[in-house]
Amino acid sequence: MAYTETTTTGYGTRVGNSFKAIGSGLLMFVLGTALLWWNEGRAVKTEKMLDEAGSKYVEMENPNKKDASLEGELICGTALATTEDSLTDADFGIGAKAIALRRTVEYYQWVEHAQTKKEDKLGGKEVTTTTYTYSKQWVSSPVQSSQFHDPAYQNKNMVLTTVEEDEKYAENVSFGAYKLPESLIHAISSREAMDLALAEDLLAQFNKNTQAAYERFYGVQKSIQQPAQPVQQPVAQAIPDSILALLPDSVKAQLDSLQAVNDSINKQMANAENKKDLAYIHQAGNVLYFGRVPGAPEVGDVRVTFEKVVPAKVTVMAVVDGDTFKPFKAKNGKRFQTLVMGQKSGDEIIDAEKEANNMILWFLRILGCLMVIGGLKGIFGFIETILKVVPFIAGIFGWGVGLVCTVIGVAWSLIVIAIAWLFYRPLLGISLLVLAGFLVWVFAFKGKDKLKDLAAKSKQKNAEPLPATE
């Protein structure tokens, strides 16, 4: 059920806040402008660095053998990234020979969602209505329900246990005859589910602690019915030695095989009888679940997922530095090294890096432009707030202020981008300046002429004589 809170802000407070917003608006405008300028320089320098790297790299034909002639060269080579290091998750007593171990944790919690609606009232007041709704979902960290707005949902969250996320990396990862530096090791993403083999006494302790936490919050619950234990049955009856001696060797071999199967089944049954079915701890693949029923989670349940990074074929593009690698340093000072999964050519890597650089360029351009527009609206927003005494008039004026700020913000952004590009690439910079000038001309002059035409038509209409009446 939704919970609603309503607050009212007076006209004087709103005007005061709008004047305070001028400073933050100016700051946002300056930061947006700086971001636009920096982004253009970053993009051009990165592209030049990639062009230089693309023209200088050499293919490493056989990474499994050190080549003294490649010392100090930017290479592109493909080999198996592998390690002999054994990593251990000490908290759970498990480990594996792997490049990395990763432990992720999720908590089943009540989560608060807020939806806000603002309404202007005659006289300048603002009524803010916030509706809070709640849902249960898996999240990466415990949620403090004591801060929930609805009293009915406060303190409804708990966790059966708290587990920290963790990630461990091998120190020695080989790439053929070379060693990978730490930064490239972290780029390997060949993750697989990790087999869990937790000690029985550790599981029993987890179960005890989890049950205690559960009962503190929920109270003592009816115990979960334990599954029936398997009944041990022999596969074959023992045959007397006197009869066994008379049987052919082929039959004896079949009986020995049958006896081996019987022994294996008996061993599995014994293990099944000895292993406890824990009520509050469950294992499923690479997931350790803290709770009563994994298929029907309750608030407070926790699930921990274990993964490992296994050896995999990777492609490295970096400078050979003895038996390892270091970043390539371009003439403009930009550095570059990368590791990608699978086998790639140097040209494919360079093209992918250029595409990523272009995506970042446009993302930051849009972000910078929005910051400039938002800053302008913050600077001139006080005008609309002053007119909030009559909401209808303020709405019309606010739409006009927003339009003007948007046009000026886009034009200013284009000018900043153009000036930045003039320093690096004059032809494109001039084109952008022309486009920005066109927008300003359309808004400043064509818009002005349009207003004159509308005013003239209105005056002409008012001057027409009224129709005669009989």
22, pLDDT greater than 90: no
Residue 413 pLDDT:
93
How sure is the predictor about 225, in pLDDT bands with cuts at 50, 70 and 90? Answer: very low
What's the rounded mean pLDDT across residues 197-201?
90
Binned at pLDDT 50, 70 and 90, residue 126 comes out as: confident
- pLDDT of the residue at 366: 95
Q: Which two tokens stand for residue 285?
A: 């693949």
Q: Which range scores top for mean pLDDT: 252-261, 267-276, 320-329, 445-454?
A: 320-329
DSSP for 52-99, written as a single string = HHHHH-EE-S-TTS--GGGTT-EEEEEEEEEE--EEEETTTTEEEESS
Question: When comparing pLDDT for 137 and 424, which is higher?
Answer: 137
CA–CA separation, 124 vs 293, rounded Å? 55
Task: Average the pLDDT over 386-399 and give the result.
Answer: 69
pLDDT of 311 higher than 80 = yes
Mean pLDDT of 151-168: 94
Q: How many CB atoms lie within 10 A of CB 45?
A: 16
Mean pLDDT confidence for 177-194: 95
Q: Which two tokens stand for residue 320?
A: 């050979």
The reported pLDDT for the residue numbered 433 is: 66
What's the confidence (pLDDT) of residue 460? Answer: 60
Taking alpha carbons only, the member of 169, 8, 200 closest to residue 98 is 169
The CA distance from 74 to 45, in Å, is 18
- Phi and psi angles of residue 17, each rounded to the nearest 5 degrees, phi first: -65, -35
Answer whether residue 354 shows pLDDT above 70: yes
Mean pLDDT of 9-17: 75
Beta strands 312-321; 324-326: pairing state: antiparallel
The amino acid at 197? A
pLDDT-derived band at 114, boundaries 50, 70, 90 = very high
Mean pLDDT of all residues in 452-468: 55
297-306 confidence digits (pLDDT tens) = 999 999 999 9
Whether pLDDT at 395 is above 90? no
* Alpha carbon distance 17, 24 (integer Å): 11
Percent with pLDDT over 90 in the chain: 58
In angstroms, rounded to a whole number, what is the distance separating the alpha carbons of residues 109 and 146? 13
With 90 as the cut, is the pLDDT of residue 318 above it?
Answer: yes
pLDDT at 444 over 70: no
Q: Which long-range contacts (CB under 8 A, 24 or more apart) does 384-387 make?
A: 384/18, 385/14, 385/15, 385/17, 385/18, 386/15, 386/18
